[in-house]
Amino acid sequence: MASDAQNSPFIKHLASSDKDTRDQALDALRTFLSGRNEIAEIDLLKLWKGLFYCLWMQDKPILQQRLSRDFAGLVEVLKTDVVMPFLSCFWKTMAREWNGIEALRRDKYLFLVRQYLNTTFRYLSRNSWRNTAAVAEYTSILAETPLSSTNTRIPAGLTYHVLDCYVDELEKVAGEEMDNEVLARLLEPVEQLRTESKTKAVRNAAKECLDDDRLKVWRGEKVGGEEDVEMGDGEGDEWGGIQD
């Protein structure tokens, strides 16, 4: 049971200042997770609560980042049927705990969220994003929790951060090329936020995310001053280049 993992010493040992202790604890956690074909949601939530507070107790920035990367890497060892429930419980845990994160501890969780967006995009990009069911399931998870347009209990700070990171982390995985159909699916929860969120600031943040020039490049659209260069009459026009 995952609840056994939460109470196991190896969870607490993940925050140890001793590298050998941390590595052994991480190996034990990987072994625990990789051997299960399914894990009940309640047990995954208990496990994630343990991992959340494991990171909470880690004070050294370098070790915080190492721990976040290690947690993100857990996705790689999961059986296929466990991946989406595991990710869903990650986001539910972040949403539940977000408002209670102290300012001095906030950066470590901002980094963890980035790592989880990145590792999930990498997971979905396997086989050239051909597992459309997995892409659809993950965007549904995002639409249900961090990018929900209807659940007013989702912390706005979490939503803003996901929107701020979304294209950055997608670019790291997709590079300069992205299939339009896959891109449209991945942007569905952001589009939904833009049109349906009851909060104007959230709608504006979603619009800003969708207006990112990198998305236009992937779609083959013109960016920045390109239209002006082609349409100008050439007299008195100055072009300063594409702005960052």
pLDDT digits (tens, 9 = 90+) for 9-61: 677 787 777 878 888 888 989 998 999 999 999 999 999 998 999 899 888 89
Tokens of 63: 């070790």
Q: How far apart are CA 177 and CA 67, in angstroms?
A: 31
The alpha-carbon radius of gyration of the chain (Å, integer) is 20
Q: Is residue 209 pLDDT above 90, yes or no?
A: yes
What is the structure's pLDDT at 233?
43
Q: How far is CA 186 from CA 68, 137, 143, 149, 229, in A?
A: 23, 10, 10, 15, 32
Average pLDDT over residues 3-13: 62
Residues 212 and 149: their CA atoms lie apart, in Å, by 20
pLDDT at 235: 40
The pTM assigned to this predicted structure is 0.86
Residue-wise pLDDT for 127-154, tens only, equals 889 999 999 999 999 999 999 999 999 9
pLDDT for 22 equals 80
Please report, as a single letter, which amino acid is at residue 244: D
Q: From the centroid of its chain, how far is CA 240?
A: 35
List of residues 6+ apart from 197 with CB closer than 8 A:
149, 203, 206
Identify the CA nearest to 13 among candidates 25, 30, 28.
25
Q: Is 16 exposed, middle or buried (0-12, 13-18, 19+ CB in 10 A)?
A: middle
Token readout for 42 is: 């309640």
Instruction: Let me know: does 219 contact 183? Beta carbons within 8 Å.
Output: yes
Residue-wise pLDDT for 168-180, tens only, equals: 999 999 998 899 9
Alpha helices in 57-131 (DSSP H): 61-73, 80-97, 106-125
The model's confidence at residue 243, banded by pLDDT at 50, 70 and 90, is very low
Query: So what's the pLDDT on residue 20?
Result: 86
Helix, strand, coil distribution of the chain in percent, nearest 5 = 75, 0, 25
Burial code (b: 16+ CB inside 10 Å, e: under 16) for 119-140 equals bbbebbbeeebebeebbeebbe
Over the stretch 76-102, which tens digit does the pLDDT of each residue have?
A: 999 999 999 999 999 999 999 999 999
What does the alpha-carbon distance between residue 166 and residue 182 come to, in Å, rounded to a whole number? Answer: 14
Task: Identify the pLDDT of residue 19.
Answer: 79
What residue ranges do the domains of the chain occupy? 2-221
Four-way CATH pick for 2-221: 1.25.40, 1.20.120, 1.10.150, 1.10.3470: 1.25.40
> pLDDT at residue 2 above 60?
no
* Pair 111, 69: CB distance under 8 Å: no
